[in-house]
């Protein structure tokens, strides 16, 4: 299953599963572009892959 998932999707899964405080710290260190990509990837899970998270 993980072989079929892009690195961006894997990062989104990882961040979504972190404790909220830890995830906030990780996101704090991301660039604006990285945050935008992360939000797009998380949105995909909500629309296309609800069973993943």
SS3 of 39-53: HHHHHHHHHHCCCCC
Q: Which residue has the higher pLDDT, 21 or 6?
A: 21
Computed from CA positions of residues 26, 31, 32, 34, in that sequence, does the dihedral angle turn out positive or negative?
Answer: negative
Would the pLDDT of 51 be above 80?
no
Let me know how many helices (H) and strands (E) the chain has, helices first.
Answer: 3, 0
Assess contact for 52 and 45: CB atoms under 8 A: yes
**For position 2, what pLDDT does the model report?**
58
What pLDDT is stored for residue 48 in this prediction?
61
Q: Is the pLDDT of residue 49 over 60?
A: no
pLDDT at 46 over 80: no
Share the mean pLDDT of the chain: 83
């Amino acid at each position: 299953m993980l072989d079929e998932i892009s690195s961006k999707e894997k990062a989104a899964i990882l961040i979504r599963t972190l404790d909220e405080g830890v995830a906030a710290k990780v996101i704090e260190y991301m660039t604006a572009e990285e945050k935008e990509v992360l939000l797009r990837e998380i949105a995909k899970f909500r629309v296309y892959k609800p069973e993943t998270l």
